[in-house]
Amino acid sequence: MKLPRLFLLTISLCSASSIAHAQWVANGTAICTALDHQNTLRMVPDGQGGAIIVWVDYRSPTPNNPDIYAQRVNKWGFVQWAANGIAVCSDPSQQGNPEAVSDGLGGAIVVWQDGRIDGGIYAQRVDANGNALWTSGGVIVNNEVGLQQNAKAVSDGAGGAIVVWEDSRNFATSSWDVYAQRIDYNGQKLWTPAGMVVCTHAAAQTQPVTVSDGQQGVIVMWDDQRNMATQGEDQYIQRLNGASLALWGPDGVPVAASPASESFSSVASDGFGGVLCAWVRQSAGTSVGTYVQRVNSSGAAQWAANGQMLCNTVSYFPAVIDDELGGAIVAWDDFRSPTFDNVDLYAARYTDAGFEWGGSNGQVIVDAPTRQSAQPIIPLIHNAPGQWMIAWTDSRNGATDIYAHLHDIDSNPFWQNDGVPVTQAADDQSNPVMVPDGAGGALIAWEDRRTHDVTDTDVYAIRIDGNGAITGVRDTPPAASALRIDPNVPNPFNGFTKIRFDLASASRTTLEIFDVAGRRMLTKELGSLGAGSHMFSFDGRDNRGRSLPSGEYFYRVTAAGTARSGKFVLTR
């Protein structure tokens, strides 16, 4: 079975009952309140303003036998699948450490570590309706001799995923190595069955982090001990293209190989086929600062040798995003406060021209009393390029709560100082995960102890808009205009991009795509479509099925006498 060459159509019509009373509530909507413990959350957008949340679940009556569960919540806060989620894998062995990527069609590919054969990596694809599409219990990504663990995954841009993991098959000669495998939308392995080598140097390679290269491949960064005897742990990086070819040398290239040790790494695409890297430098086991580097699409470092220092304070857990101009915005936990255990959040923006802000040991983002702990930051691009949001666990009120903050590219805050509370429910909330909602806000999920003791947690979630308000609490959604479009996602893209629009009433609809000179590349008569949300997936081909070259293009949707336009960037 092949994906359609030009368009995939998904029509999602909200029933009257599903929009009559919005479900998002103050302090969060319950996603799973099953018995025992739910933790290790992951979340991906569903492409329609909602999200799919994945977690490790201990409800099984077999002691110490965690499973993998998932739930989809729509943009109005209604769970879409069975109460307390569906079992992605409930094999009698242990499952843990899940990862998830969007399948591009409203579902997700879930990857996890599995104990059924002495430790391996498994995966399952779940569609938008919560149906498992692959073999019951998941397909085997890798179960070679030894252990496979700490898997990471990225979308391959064609409905499948690339999975990267730590592997001990060569433990007698090289300790831990890093391997990868690409699986398609049917769960079939596309690379050699045993997995492709990312790095098998004689020393240990651990803690891989991954990002798509935007061309159906993957960029992997890891902790590397090949120089451990003389200069501590280093950071190395490798790029595999969609055909599994290693592009940056047989065992990767160094990002940071200083006399100190480098760890706690984070990566993001730079938007130009390269990668932005952030990490912590340590001496004698203690952090001595946070660093950043940009590596271009050829594997060459662009900034200072061994990285540009952002701060020389005790700092940990940096998170990096693209500033949408090729530069980096990095946020981190900072311990410079003289008050014991008072952790604040700092950030800086660095580009090819140098510091844009935060050049003197970073700029404070949150310095409320007691402890704030950083979480991944995300760009929000709907009609507001350059915005970025950060969420964190915060103990300023005694018990730990979840807070968030929105800033522009120049670090000007949109909300009140020190952020806005996402939830202040009873007891502790922790470990938030966050995805953009495609409309200038975000969906945030977390582990929640409001109904349990300290050993058990539930899963709650909320949607916060660009004004810092909880959205969806109105009785009905806002009235739709005749036609509304959302920005295509992803953008830029290689492979395919999704174009979403909403119709207030049934109408004949046309989609057109133009180049920057105004020449019409594609006309697609979509026929009569009903009221509601519609989503198309465009694979970058014109009316004659020819691949369009890289560049900027415009799309226009016309319905009910109204036209709306957007712009995308195609990369080859």
Domain coordinates of the chain in residue numbers? Answer: 258-365, 483-570
The answer, yes or no, to whether residue 85 has pLDDT greater than 90, is yes
Per-residue model confidence (pLDDT) at position 279: 97
Q: Mean per-residue pLDDT for 89-93?
A: 93
Which 3-state string (H, E, C) describes 39-93?
A: EEEEEEECCCCCEEEEEEECCCCCCCCCEEEEEEECCCCCECCCCCCEEEECCCC
520-547: b (≥16 Cβ within 10 Å) or e: ebbebebeebeebbbbbbbbbbbeeeee
- Give residue 498's pLDDT: 84
Q: Which amino acid is at 184?
A: D
CA atoms within 13 Å, Cβ hemisphere of 40:
19
Query: How confident is the model at residue 475, as a pLDDT?
Result: 37
* pLDDT at residue number 506: 86
Give dist(CA 430, CA 37) in Å, integer: 13
**In the chain, % of residues over pLDDT 70:** 91
For 527, the 3-state DSSP assignment is strand
The 10s digit of each residue's pLDDT in 369-381 is 888 887 666 665 4
pLDDT at residue 470 greater than cutoff 60? yes
Model pLDDT, residue 330: 95
Residue 13: band (very low, low, confident or very high) from pLDDT cuts 50, 70, 90: very low
18: Cβ contacts below 8 Å, ≥ 6 apart: 74, 76, 78
22 pLDDT band (50/70/90 cuts)? low
Name residues whose C-beta falls within 8 Å of residue 26's C-beta, 6 or more positions apart in sequence.
Answer: 470, 473
- Greater pLDDT, 149 or 563: 149
Selected residue with higher pLDDT from 554 and 256: 256
Name the pLDDT band for 287 (thresholds 50, 70, 90). Answer: very high
Type and span of the H or E element at 164: strand 161-167
Q: How high is the pLDDT of residue 480?
A: 45
pLDDT at 408 over 60: yes
Residue 339 confidence class, pLDDT cut points 50, 70, 90: confident
Burial class (CB in 10 A: 0-12, 13-18, 19+), 259: exposed
Token pair of 417, please?
């100082």
Q: What is the model's pLDDT at position 112?
A: 98
What percent of the chain stands above pLDDT 90? 59
Q: What pLDDT sits at residue 156? A: 93
Please compute the mean of the pLDDT values over residues 86-106 and round it to a whole number: 94
According to the model, what pLDDT value does residue 497 have? 86
Question: pLDDT averaged over the chain?
Answer: 88
**For residue 423, what are its two tokens?**
């939830």
Could you tell me where the beta strands, DSSP code E, fall in 352-415? 354-357, 363-366, 372-380, 387-394, 401-407
Residue 194: its pLDDT value, please? 96
**Residue 453, pLDDT score:** 63
Average pLDDT over residues 398-423: 90
User: Rounded distance, CA 265 to CA 262, Å?
Assistant: 8
Q: Compute the residue count for the chain.
A: 572
Q: How confident is the model at residue 11 (pLDDT cuts 50, 70, 90)?
A: very low
Q: Which of 201-205, 321-325, 443-447 has the lowest mean pLDDT?
A: 321-325
Residue 533 has pLDDT above 60, yes or no: yes
- What average pLDDT does range 107-124 have in this prediction? 92
Q: In 213-270, which ranges are E strands? A: 218-224, 234-240, 253-256, 261-269
* pTM higher than the cut 0.85: no
**C-alpha separations of 306 from 16, 24, 388, 532 in Å:** 57, 46, 27, 52
Average pLDDT over residues 337-360: 91
3-state helix, strand, coil in the chain (%, to 5): 0, 50, 45
Residue 7 above 50 pLDDT? no
Residue-wise pLDDT tens digits, 481-522: 578 887 788 888 887 888 888 888 888 899 999 887 778 899
**Which residues have a Cβ under 8 Å from the Cβ of 562 and sit 6 or more positions away?**
481, 482, 483
pLDDT digits (tens, 9 = 90+) for 511-526: 999 887 778 899 988 8
> Are the beta carbons of 503 and 531 closer than 8 angstroms?
yes
The backbone torsions φ and ψ at residue 27, rounded to the nearest 5 degrees and listed phi first, read: 70, 5
| CATH number of the 483-570 domain | 2.60.40.4070
Rounded mean pLDDT of 446-462? 86
| Residue 280 confidence (pLDDT) above 90 | yes
**pLDDT tens per residue, range 185-199:** 999 999 999 999 999
Least confident of 119-128, 244-253, 294-303, 377-386: 377-386
